Structure 1
Amino acid sequence: MSGTITISVDAMGGDNAPRAPIEGARLLLREHPDARFIFHGRQDVLEPLLSEFTDLAQVSEIRHSETVITMDDKPSQALRKGRGSSSMWAAIEAVKNGEAKVAISGGNTGALMAMATFCLRPMQGISRPAIAAIWPTLRSDIIVLDVGATIGADAEQLVDFSILGAAMARALFDMETPTVGLLNVGVEEAKGNEWVKDAAKSLTEKSGAGFTYHGFVEGDDLGKGTVDVVVTEGFTGNIALKTAEGTARQVATYLRNALKGSFLSRLGAMLAYQALSALRSKMDPRTVNGGVFLGLNGVVIKSHGGTDEIGYKSALGLAYDMARNDLIEKIGEGLERMKPGAIPDRQEESEAPTA
């Protein structure tokens, strides 16, 4: 059906699967009636659940997959046991075959990255894929990458991440030249390790080719929203992400306990109900759920495995936006500007990743 956006869903991935991804899809459908879904998983489990939601069932297809990848499976094990037979692999393969615009899973992150890289292959001109996260700030939402795919990225990979992050900002935020900053231990040019300094030199030379290089940024700039895209390697990025999520929950708990402390505080909470509800929503990690795998010949979204239908709806909404705004095409444009001749080629076969 022309004009629709089809999302391929690993319905068995995650702690609350398959109910959470299916109910999340129904919530998304209310906002985007042009969305369509392919649910991959055990048919005997999915059919009765999907039948509870007539509106969703009318725009959905179930494809049976017997094998389910567990959270304990190592990436190499997942490839061996799940290639071609698992719900995770089938969800990704639907994107490769052009049946869906984007795939989403709440399953094992390492297995998902291994399968996505093996099935979709890295784009020409990109050395390693990255995981990008939407990050709420005092200014507006920004993009932070890598948050866990590549540990210890070198200068070339940091430059690649900058291209990918800028392309995602153009697709998601409708920006012509988003600002990019490298996360560092200080903003002075002399600070940081050698590969960060080398990446900064390269980005300074290429600034203007689809993005504006801001310079180094520090940890507190993440919350300020100093730049539109913050680039770092996966070890640092993942720790920053988990720290921010934990801090948000900590502050929310402090606030909730304080507002229950006395009669006057409870009365104040009632009077400020609307403002507190808005604050609670802003601090809820579920509302910015979803990591985007960038640098592959297709879009894959990783949802938090332990989230509920609200979190899945957010991740599915991100998937919808990435597909609607032609993320892959925008990455191709960015590669052509910064690396002439490195246009993504879906037909090109590259080396399979080692798992």
Structure 2
Amino acid sequence: MIPSVLPTYTRTPLNFVKGEGSWLVEQDGRRFLDLGAGIAVNALGHAHPDLISALTEQAGNLWHVSNLYTIPKQQALADKLVEASFADTVFFTNSGTESCELAVKMARKYWADKGQPDRFEIIAFEGAFHGRSSAAIAAAGTEKMVGGFGPVLPGFTHLPWNDFEAVKGAVTEKTAAILIEPIQGEGGIRALPDQWLKDLRKLCDDTDTLLILDEVQCGMGRTGRLFAHEWAGITPDIMMVAKGIGGGFPLGAVLATENAASGMVAGTHGSTYGGNPLGCAVGLAVMDHVANPRFLAEVNRKAGALRQKLEGLVAAHPDVFEEVRGSGLMLGLKCRVPAGDVVKAGFKQMVLTVPAAENVMRLLPPLNISDEDIAEAATRIDKAASSVEATAE
């Protein structure tokens, strides 16, 4: 008999009932150190007082009116994002998947409005993950994502990751945009070199192609800059964000230049819940923290401390770990043993991590994780690695 919750996840039998900072409390009272943060969602940890205050205050005033009307908190959050980024305009969604759908629509509508409707193809990359909607799985293109869901949305070209020559050869008069994650999350914490992003930007400029960045997982302060592409000194034409922007409340957005968004006029797109007062109230509170240079400096300092601890674990457990990957507080331990075994061993040490492709264990802690919790994280992962070693003997 099918369970009442559709069984599309293989769930770990843990039942968390309370969150406190970087910690989750299981219903039996055990405290788990959360280095997954809801897969990079809980940017300020669990039950942050500023987010509680923002949500509670807004909930006492107004929950929902729809986008038929002006929403003051939505306007305020859009203004903050525009001020802090390359963008001229913002559309709010409920998730990264919805952001992907709009980014694809926006790029194709841009060329259609210029009288070039045949310019609809989008270049995407091996190992990518952009969500689970029709456009998002088509952009990923793997059998794991598209198997059984055909016919797949056409118009996507898939190239090897980090092969710039292949990209140059793939851009044609039918190419509308290039879609890429500055750091692949699900794909194994694979970070593009800054020069590669600079070369991509120049290629797009030279060929009049739109550049779409997926910063759903690597954005909102995760790398120590508000957005990961800032490290390369470039800007996209369109960018997808979600996850950390809501700090745990379902919220996403598409940021774009005025030029790239020129085709999205009244009636071309919509969302019932996107940008509702509750989500935007929380998003404003998140921005007050993650857009603050002092906060980002602390992210960088803590990222250095965590990376140093992880490098020590690689040295201490060479039969378990191979290398440290990533940037900021978006880090991964590439494993020599099955990464899932290390993740499961962590459950016994009451530390939570997230598996990814390429046999990588992801560490995506709250951006405000304490120094004490970083030290505790290393201790617990060390014990988990030791238990894996002991099992292999």
The TM-score, its normalising length taken from structure 1, stands at: 0.30
Greater fraction helix: 1
